[in-house]
Amino acid sequence: MSAQPLRIGIHDISFATAHQVLDLSELAEHQGIDVNKYYVGIGQSEMSMPAADEDIVTMGAEAAGRIIDRHGAEGIRTLLFATESGIDQSKSAGVFVHGLLGMGENCRVVELKQACYSATAALQFALGIVARDPREKVLVIAADVARYALDSSGEPTQGAAAVAFLVTADPALVEIEPVTGLHTDDIHDFWRPNHLSTALVDGKYSLAAYLRSLEGAWTEYQARGGVAFDDIDRFCYHQPFTKMAVKAHDRLNTIAGSGLDRDARRAQIAASLDINRRTGNSYTASIYAGLLSLLNDDEADLEGSRIGFFSYGSGSVSEFFTGVVQPGYRALLRRDEDAALLDSRVAIGYARYRSLHEAVDEVRGEDVVTARETTGPFRFAGITDQMRRYERTR
């Protein structure tokens, strides 16, 4: 009698974001345009804005801390930190998180980068580690701060958030299925040279590249024996802005020849858009913020549902894969806590937003002490002798 195949996937997932927020009505008023260009046109209502003492480490540690508080750190021998907002050219942001959370020294910690895709690379690496030894647990953190130049076309899509998830055997949330479809193309649709703190983007080209990459990944997924479109119940997409997920799902329906009407297509993705609509783009974290948003939907019981994931990172690398929601998944969710994180952010006006944006470029290699602003459990305390310092606040 053959052994049952090992089930591996996401055992728990948690979320964090910056503790200040700009409603896009403030930006629209400054620009003298109808706010519905943002609320409806790109599907965004707010952007999370990090204070001077917040960054990918503080958000990542806050998200991961919820998982450690629930499960403990024992058995987590790998921490993978996915980001395109790196804070050091050598040291992994994950090492800072490892220290803040007091994790054991017998742990490998690595930072991964490929635009918005790398959290999915981290997930796939984690699945391989657990497949080799089912006793292993892998903590994955995706955290980013999306920044574009002031008064640029990308400005309303800025944002910040982190998602952490624990990958184990016999997962309680989502079992990840083995078949994937991949697509890579060496292009310049979006990039950030070392000398810039803001990204450069060719907007129309990037949208076209995203959709072309979706077709390529889906085509290979099918060729490698993936399930049919009709066997997938819900979908999560990388969301540079939520309307992009809508466009992508319409395109996939066309490619797959599904025949679904507009309402049926929207129903497959609507719940996955809620968090990203309020945080803005979070690069590597956005697709998994979409997953959490979908799981948090209290109007649908997703037990046994299959979710299709399309992860895209400009430049470009993408992957299509699927996962199945597990029985009893709701017991692991933190709906009220997640809602409170969004609702408790401090609203700021345009002047404060602009000063925070401009301040990022002011410090270059100098010592700095940051004022305490965040209400989160971790903060960036400043730079001493060109070394970043972090501390717990509670």
Strand partners, 308: 235, 322
Q: For residue 262, give both structure tokens.
A: 């507009």
Residue pair 146/313 in contact by the 8 Å Cβ criterion:
no
Residue pair 176/10 in contact by the 8 Å Cβ criterion:
yes
**Active site (annotated) includes residue 238:** yes
Distance, CA of 26 to CA of 352 (rounded, Å) = 11
Q: How far is CA 350 from CA 42, 281, 282, in A?
A: 20, 18, 20
Q: For residue 91, give both structure tokens.
A: 């040291």
> Of these residues, 46, 54, 62, 84, which one is catalytic?
84
Distance, CA of 2 to CA of 279 (rounded, Å) = 47
Distance, CA of 162 to CA of 155 (rounded, Å) = 20
φ, ψ (nearest 5 deg) of residue 134: -60, -10
Strand 346-347 with 20-23, pairing: parallel
Rounded to the nearest 10 degrees, the angle between the axes of helix 56-71 and helix 93-100 is: 50
Q: For residue 192, give both structure tokens.
A: 């950030």
Q: Which residue has the tokens 């029985």?
A: 327
Name the residue type at position 211: L
Report the SS3 class of residue 32.
coil
- Calculate Rg over the CA atoms of the chain: 20
**Active site (annotated) includes residue 116:** yes
Q: Which residue has the tokens 């053959």?
A: 2
Distance, CA of 196 to CA of 221 (rounded, Å) = 36
> Of these residues, 11, 19, 183, 238, which one is catalytic?
238
Distance, CA of 15 to CA of 38 (rounded, Å) = 24
Distance, CA of 237 to CA of 391 (rounded, Å) = 34
> Of these residues, 11, 54, 98, 116, which one is catalytic?
116
Distance, CA of 55 to CA of 195 (rounded, Å) = 19
**Active site (annotated) includes residue 107:** no
Q: Which of 250, 245, 278 is nearest to 263 (CA)?
A: 250
Q: So which residues are the catalytic ones?
A: 84, 116, 238
